[in-house]
Chains A and B, each alone.
Chain A
Amino acid sequence: MDEQDAIHSTRFSRTAALAGAGAKVGLNYLKYYGRRALASEAGAKALETTLHEENASQVFKTFSQLKGAPLKLAQMLSIDKNILPAAYLKSFAQAQYSTPPLSYPLVVRTFRREFGREPLDLFDEFTRQAASGASIGQVHRAARGVHQFAVKVQYPGVAESLQNDLRVVKPIALQVLGLRESDVAEYFEEVKARLLEETDYALELQRSQQLAHDCAGVPHIRFPAMYPELSSARVLTMDWVEGEALDRFADGPASQAERDQVGQALWDFYDHQIHQLRLFHADPHPGNFLVRDGDVWVLDFGCTKALPEDVYRQQFRFLDPSLLDDATALARAMEELQLLLPQDGPVERAHLVRLFQDSVGQLALPFRHGFHDFGDPEYMAAIYRNGQANSEDKVLRKLRGRRGSPHSVYVNRAYFGLYSLLSRLRARVKTRLPDWLAPVGAA
């Protein structure tokens, strides 16, 4: 009868932590409305910014305390810039670097559970302190002789607490983002499925070996070797890679030629995965890439997404310039993807088609002319402006019903992430339309 008590109590404390954040967010809103009632029109806008910033840091603190799923969700939101006001992004972008560590005895215990041996039975050296955090675990540095390894160790029980966390986070996320549960249920399922996969290091090992093999021909993209005999569902061992984190490289003094080479490598890498393999690394977070001698090293394959062929075709036909320029054909294509629903009135339809034309046109722009300069600050600024405008659009906000395909979550995430990385790099890249969309007769 009290079988579940202990588990309830931990669930309760997690819920309490989240409820705490919810309460603080609510309190901030109260403060805001109180002050706004007294403020002038001009002061109101400034207050709104303050509110977003206060809420963002509070929500972020809570998410990062909970580790596991909420942290991952925060990371995803940090990439999906269209959903959140800019103020949230500053805080969420730190998510990668602020997880509470596993103690060394717990790491030892995990090794004993997984291998029946301790770290020092398997390696000559093994750092007691983690070298870096990962969203659901941490990375230790190990050595055999002169050979250096990176060993990722997962926080115990992550898979079990993940579903629970998502259930608790869901209403708060819906509240913060202003969404209706029934409209986004499929999207949450999609995120949940990917998150659950991330807790399976055996799957990650297999996929990283697969992708490394399939992407061997992409210039300047490198992969650390993986060690199946030193890996399990909870421990993943690969070569230690020295290099500069991609964000640090981007913000550093690298020359334009170096930036272009790194940017091109990333572009080609994603292009090959999405348009050739239909299986891609869906976590283009700067923390997942290292730069060394002009090569990009890809770490962390926890989040990969496979696209069924029909979904792929539906999603990427919008890259076709002739479709984007033809409002009637575009509306038909949007119906097929269920972005437009039968119950939408003519005014709504026209409005949605125009919005879609604008946003997708903008995102497809790099594909259009065979070359794109991501260093153009106006380009990303326009994307953000557009996102902000969409998030404030009255028709969009009132829009109900399930729309689009849940597969698009990770496609969008990958492209948003890629574009953010490239603009941070200020890279200029050569692009091309997928063969099946390229005009006949084009090279």
Chain B
Amino acid sequence: MSKPKPKAGNAGIRERIVQRYFAIIAETGAPASSLPAFCAELGVDDAAFHEFFPSLEAIEDAFWTGVMDHVLKSLAGGLEWPEFTARQRLLTFLFAFLENAADQRALLQARFGAGGLLARPEALRGLEARFKEFAAALVAHGVATGEIADRGRLAAIYPEALYFHFRSVIDFSLKDVSPGLERTDAFIEKTVHLAFETLRAQAFDAAFDVLRFLVPSRSA
């Protein structure tokens, strides 16, 4: 047996792994769960697999991270982006993400549809990290323009809250049966509006003040 040319052969194996992984989701509606079974079926040994990916989840992680990078890069390159407010940026991001993921409905269903909004699957780690970086920058922009109240250290939970909102948008879109997913567009519009009204308005501060007032009194 002659040695395969490393580069071409490696690229071929990587491609086969990725293709097979997503084919399984398309066929069964769920990702592969056993690495040995996956490798055996593909005729690749574990060591060869690990040259490319540390785990099965990492295949998908790389995919979602790629989608996210693609969306964020194309947005930042938009002519109007620099002039957009934080609210407009968040809306634009959500619309763009769903547009980019529109032909991946089965994949979205398998990954986002299962496990609830608070699940933190390993396959979404990269996406989550990228989103929170984006959200932190968004909040900084919003605070600078006065759209978002600066609540000091409390502001640290904003990216967390926005990530939860992002997950709920995807969740809504997966259940949406309206033509062109119009209801999802309306959902995004309305909930972002609500979120920014909350981030700006005094109601949130007042609620926090009441909480602060009540919490120590219990221990005292």
Chain A residues within CB distance 8 Å of chain B: 2-7, 10, 102-106, 108-110, 112-113, 120, 155-157, 160-161
Contact = CB atoms under 8 A, between A and B. Distances in A.
A110 B92 contact: no
Interface residues of B, number: 24
Given A105-B91, A160-B183, A112 B178 contact: no
B139 to A, nearest CB: 18
A157 B178 contact: yes
B189 A103 contact: yes
Contact of B185 (A104, A110, A120, A161): A110
Nearest to B93: A105
Contact of B175 (A6, A102, A106, A156): A6
B186 A105 contact: no
Contact of B171 (A6, A10, A109, A160): A6
Nearest to B83: A128
Contacts of B87: 103
A320 B151 CA distance: 73
A106 B91 contact: yes
Given A7-B175, A157-B178, A109 B183 contact: no
Contacts of A155: 186
Nearest to A2: B175
A3 B92 contact: no
Contacts of B183: 7, 10, 156-157, 160-161
Contacts of B53: none
B182 interface: yes
Given A156-B183, A160-B183, A108 B95 contact: yes
A155 B87 CA distance: 18
Nearest to B168: A6
A136 to B, nearest CB: 12
Nearest to A10: B187
Contacts of A112: 95, 99
A161 B172 CA distance: 16
A120 B180 CA distance: 22
Interface in B140-159: none
Given A10-B187, A103-B192, A106-B91, 16 more contacts: A10-B183, A103-B88, A104-B88, A105-B84, A105-B88, A106-B188, A109-B95, A109-B185, A112-B95, A113-B180, A156-B180, A157-B182, A157-B186, A160-B178, A160-B182, A160-B183
28 contacts: A6-B171, A6-B172, A6-B187, A10-B183, A10-B187, A102-B189, A103-B91, A103-B192, A103-B193, A104-B88, A105-B91, A105-B92, A105-B95, A106-B91, A106-B189, A108-B92, A109-B91, A109-B185, A113-B182, A113-B185, A155-B186, A156-B180, A156-B185, A156-B186, A157-B183, A157-B186, A160-B183, A161-B186
A204 to B, nearest CB: 18
Contacts of A10: 183, 187
B37 interface: no
B79 interface: yes
Nearest to A13: B190
